[in-house]
């Protein structure tokens, strides 16, 4: 009888411990600090407030490849993964300007510059290795002005502020490495023109620029 009770107790402990161990492993898969490399497709477009229908040859957009790095910290909050994150990226998107015409989208003859993002994300586990999440936060992007005056290159940057929202899927390749696919939308509604040197900056007021990006990421979780 004592042996039967002992075996039953051992089996009960094992039955409880196994799910707990599995849960602990799941909880740890998408938690802690992380760093990642990013690359993807980037397009900046004229927002709905910018109307250039008179020029049929102007698609009011520029596109290119965006690339950069990101960092973050995630933790499990009772079945929901919450995290803080930041990114620094750049882009090859550029206005195609031939001296008389260009694919302008409200900011003139520019190319996309660096983009800083800080925000948060929240996700759920579709399975122990797959995290589905949404994100949102603040973004500050620069567009470099491409022009010259009297043979000298004119150096100025349009500094823009806005918000970003997005959604993605992150897959744990193993305990430490992961890959992710993400779509995000940004809108910039405030801008100023920053000059090099002592020339005062100029407030450009309200703007309307939409940005769409599809990103691939590969990261390491510490």
Co-location of 189 and 149 in the same domain: yes
Co-location of 98 and 158 in the same domain: yes
Complete DSSP assignment for 60-90:
-EEEEEEEEEEEEEEEESSSEEEEEEEEEEE
Co-location of 58 and 152 in the same domain: yes
The domain of 1 spans 1-30
Co-location of 64 and 150 in the same domain: yes
pLDDT recorded at residue 3:
43
pLDDT recorded at residue 209:
92
Co-location of 81 and 120 in the same domain: yes
- Report the CATH number at residue 103: 2.40.160.20
pLDDT recorded at residue 86:
98
pLDDT recorded at residue 156:
87
Q: Which of 116, 105, 108 is nearest to 142 (CA)?
A: 116
Counting the structural domains of the chain, the total is 2
Q: What angle do CA 41, 88, 222 make, to 5 degrees?
A: 105
pLDDT recorded at residue 26:
45
Co-location of 101 and 21 in the same domain: no
pLDDT recorded at residue 46:
83
What is the Cα–Cα distance from 136 to 89, expressed in whole angstroms?
Answer: 16
Co-location of 136 and 162 in the same domain: yes
Co-location of 37 and 5 in the same domain: no
pLDDT recorded at residue 56:
53
What is the Cα–Cα distance from 212 to 166, expressed in whole angstroms?
Answer: 10
Mean pLDDT, 10 residues at a time, over the chain (222 residues)? 42 40 53 97 83 56 95 93 98 79 73 96 95 98 80 79 98 96 96 81 87 98 94
Co-location of 8 and 66 in the same domain: no
Co-location of 42 and 89 in the same domain: yes
pLDDT recorded at residue 195:
83
Co-location of 9 and 99 in the same domain: no
Contact criterion met (CB below 8 Å) for 38 and 141: no
Co-location of 72 and 11 in the same domain: no
């Amino acid at each position: 009888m004592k042996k039967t009770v002992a075996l039953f107790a051992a089996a009960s402990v094992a039955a409880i411990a196994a799910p707990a161990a599995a849960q602990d492993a799941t909880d740890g898969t998408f938690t802690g600090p992380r760093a990642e490399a990013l690359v993807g497709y980037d397009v900046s477009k004229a927002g709905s407030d910018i109307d250039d229908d008179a020029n049929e040859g102007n698609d009011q957009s520029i596109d290119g490849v965006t690339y950069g790095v990101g960092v973050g910290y995630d933790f499990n909050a009772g079945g929901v993964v919450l995290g803080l994150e930041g990114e620094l990226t750049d882009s090859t998107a550029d206005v195609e300007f031939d001296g008389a015409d260009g694919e302008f989208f409200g900011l003139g003859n520019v190319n996309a510059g660096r983009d800083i993002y800080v925000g948060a994300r929240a996700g759920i586990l579709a399975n122990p290795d797959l995290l589905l999440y949404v994100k949102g936060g603040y973004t500050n992007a620069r567009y470099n002005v491409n022009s010259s005056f009297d043979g000298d290159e004119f150096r100025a940057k349009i500094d823009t502020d806005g918000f970003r929202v997005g959604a993605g899927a992150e897959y744990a390749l193993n305990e430490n490495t992961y890959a992710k696919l993400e779509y995000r939308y940004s809108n910039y509604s405030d801008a100023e023109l920053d000059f090099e040197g002592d020339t005062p900056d100029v407030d450009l007021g309200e703007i309307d620029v939409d940005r769409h990006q599809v990103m691939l990421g590969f990261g390491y979780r510490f």
